[in-house]
Chain A
Amino acid sequence: MLTDSKKLKPPFNYKTIILVLIIVFIIIFSAQRVGIPEIVDRLYEVSLDIIGVKETSRINDGLSRIFNEMWPPVIETKKDINLILNFDSSNLPFYSFIENQKVQLYETNIETLELESREEEVLFLVEPFGYLKVVIIKIIESIEIAFWSSFIALIISIPLAYYSAKNYAPNKIIYYLCRSIVSALRAVPELISVLFMVLAFGFGPAAGIMALGLHSAGFLGKFFAEDIENADKGSQDALKALGASKWRVLKEAVLPQVMPQYVAYILYILDRNLRMATVIGLVGGGGIGQELKGRFDLFEYGHVTTIILVIFIVVFIFDQISAKLRNKLIGNSS
């Protein structure tokens, strides 16, 4: 008779069935709590709306209010010249012109106390690409935030990685201390840490740079340390046997192995920080996010469209460049 260790194990047993039942129960319970049935219900409703079976749907109603106002995107600026300080009509900004427009003005008649309207001709300074220029300046600020935060992350993560790598940490206390710092940095999301950074550095890019820098230092520290730990031991042993100290082994045996991967991580962090730099502005971290939040709060959805399109184009271009660079670097290592 065959003992258990000699038999082919069955693909599932009663434990598997109990486990599956528990998982199904948790899924059903959790789905109710987080509103999954409502999501399904609304998606079903909107799909009926799209194919014409139903006349309206809650999703469509909610979004159409904004979408109707989002197009066309606003790229020009138009300012009443009376509101521009020291306006000089002989010295207009580049590629701009003055436009005469009739506007409806509302005034309260003091005698009748009624609101009266009258038409008046007002001169406007029109810059056809004025708002686009503002958005580009803001996105450049976001790109700068991404670069600086990635640079700060790199500076912080290098010593952290060295001391968080089991085979290089001088002792267990330093190893666990650095590992904890790396985990703590990763654990606090940028959108939370930027709130504290705003208190420390004030509203603007500095708060965003610090929030993103600290968070991504956690990621880089972890990635770098793991690569140091997993680097091929053979070449390290060979250099150790030749009398090389730890840092010499790290420089000559470990770094050449891990460098392409490190550059790929840095590019990924840069890419990620660029995307996040557009978001942290919403809570005071500077850059394009701040502009986006302002326009959204003023219900200027045409401006919001311009901002979203510019963010999309910049992120897409950067994503393509970093993907090509990453492929090139990792491809070379094979």
Chain B
Amino acid sequence: MQRVREIAAAPGYLATVERASSFLLSVRSAPDTGQSGLRCQFQLLFALWLSGRAGVRCHKQVQSAAAAVSASVTRASKEATFDPYKYDPKLLLLCYRAMRDYGVECAPLKDFARELAAAFLRMPAVPRQLAVEAYLSEALANCENQGGCKESESVSRAAIELPCFDERLLLADRTTIESVTREVSIASLFGSRVASGELTTQLSAVLQVILLQKLQDYDLMLGAALLRAIKCLGLGGCEEARYAIAFLLSQQHMDGRFGYYARELREVPLENPDLDLYLPVTVSVLWAVVEMTVPGFCLLGRRSE
């Protein structure tokens, strides 16, 4: 079993992460069948794994969540209802990594990671959009083969320059901004390498302003994604990022969930707001909080160039 590395968040922030973990544990009774139920379980495992990496004492809970996900995936796989390509492959690979960290086996996810790694190795060049998947799947496959995570070979072959973005991004819709944050994650491999590109400085300035605007619009998920992107660009210490993290922290309830949505829920009632609204928001914000407050935190581990 790979040793779980713990770098604690600063004490004040650790309490925030602990509260968020308490909320996540309280919604762990999520239904474990069907695509949406499994997606919730993956999100929960990912977030609990992040909490563990931030220094929250939740080893048993993460292990138990990992075991539950493994059991659900294995059962769905036996019933031929598990199609890994229906989920975000990055989330699945990160959950598999979390399972490995906690000594939990999951044959269908292991096969999925191997299948992806083999496919990437066969490609003459990895498309930029799949660089993170290539990096993760090959690192995981290398762990299986050699007992330790090695850097991906195909990522070195992937073109991971950031495309050009300019001020026009200020007028972009939500989907475009989300795709830009994904581009930044890909270019920097979730912050494990420095993103390059001609206009990185200009992009940073625009993203910092969009971050403030989205938080003013109370779009916490997009705000958290933008904050992570800004950190990936190496600007986690900028004034806008500090404002944003302070604002996000102020939006935590006593039970650990993030976001105040009473008005939205009155207008559009949800069957299960904990799972359908608060869980994705809390996972996204928690991830940003961990990225911003745990010294030296890097989701995929630091990669030297």
Do A and B pair up? The answer is no
Binding site for B on A (CB under 8 A): none
